[in-house]
Structure 1
Amino acid sequence: MVGQRIRWRRRELKLSQEQLGELLHLTFQQVQKYEKGVNRVSAGRLFEIASVMGVNVNYFYDGAENMLDDGRLTVAEDGPGTGGPAAPVLDAETLDLIAAFRKIEDDSLRKSLLNTVRAAASAFESKQDED
């Protein structure tokens, strides 16, 4: 989860892995390993990453209360600990969509796009139910 949040913030800042690595005096491969969860991020390194990225360390733990035993970040439909259905980890495409959506300043355009996506998802669900 921490690695995913590092990646998301890096992309929000429009930094490449190489650029972030230079700011942290690391190789881009090390940044890549942190983001993919191959290597764990120490507390000291996380503090350094947060400082360079302009966020509080807590940013990397937002939503941690929704973790399952297997380590996947989930969003419970009925809230944490309710046992309701949960969505899987956010993938890169979803993160891109969220980042792009957040940049739209026009409220009516945002609402319109959200309604369009909901309609498309509903139509897809209906089609799956028929099969």
Structure 2
Amino acid sequence: MPHQVDLHVGQRLRQRRTLLGMTQQKLADAVGIKFQQIQKYESGANRISASRLWVIARALEVPVSHFFEGLTEEERALHENGEHEDGVIAPEVFHQKETIDLIRAYYNLKEAPRKRLLDLAKTLADAAA
């Protein structure tokens, strides 16, 4: 069974790659490995060496520390809605295609409609609580 840290790093890798709209093949080409290896890293099946993580971080334009952010929060119990007790959203939520699509659409809006959409979402969330 994969170690929790390897799973977390793989999830953060997948999240960043997906957010950039980058395929596994494109990332693999940038790093100089086969795309199957990226799949194994993302699933936590294979551990990423320090030097490889550094190269991946450069290809994804993030610091190496990005892959470890939120690690301690992930170990806490989650509420049913995907939030931690302290209101922090669980990292798994950001791996869903729907979430990524929503974030991309949101940032493609101009500032005024984006603010209105955010206000609407907050109102709906409050009404559902």
Q: Do both proteins adopt the same fold according to a TM-score greater than 0.5, normalized to the shorter chain?
A: yes
Residue 117 of structure 1 corresponds to which residue in structure 2? 121
With 40-49 and 3-12 compared, the bigger mean Cα shift is at 3-12
Residue 107 of structure 2 corresponds to which residue in structure 1? 102
Q: Deviations over 1:14-40 (max 9, x none)?
A: 221111111112111111221222222
Unaligned runs of 5+ in 1: 81-85, 127-131
Unaligned runs of 5+ in 2: 1-7
Q: Which amino acid aligns with 1:19?
A: K
Residue 57 of structure 1 corresponds to which residue in structure 2? 64
Q: Deviations over 1:48-75 (max 9, x none)?
A: 10122222101112222312168xxx75
With 89-98 and 44-53 compared, the bigger mean Cα shift is at 89-98
2:32 is matched with which residue: 25, 30, 48? 25
Q: Deviations over 1:79-131 (max 9, x none)?
A: 68xxxxx7572132223322432343x332112112222344455x36xxxxx
Q: Displaced runs of 4+ in structure 1, greater than 4 A?
A: none
Q: Secondary structure at the match of 1:22?
A: helix
Residue 13 of structure 1 corresponds to which residue in structure 2? 20
**Percent identity between the two aligned chains:** 41
Residue 4 of structure 2 corresponds to which residue in structure 1? none
Kindly indicate whether structure 1 or structure 2 has the higher relative contact order, using CA contacts under 8 Å at least 6 residues apart. Answer: 2
With 93-102 and 59-68 compared, the bigger mean Cα shift is at 93-102
Q: CA deviation at 1:12?
A: 3.0
Preserved contact between residue 66 and residue 75 of structure 1 (Cα < 8 Å): no
Aligned length: 116
Preserved contact between residue 74 and residue 90 of structure 2 (Cα < 8 Å): no
Preserved contact between residue 2 and residue 35 of structure 1 (Cα < 8 Å): yes
TM-score by length of 1: 0.68
Q: CA deviation at 1:4?
A: 1.9
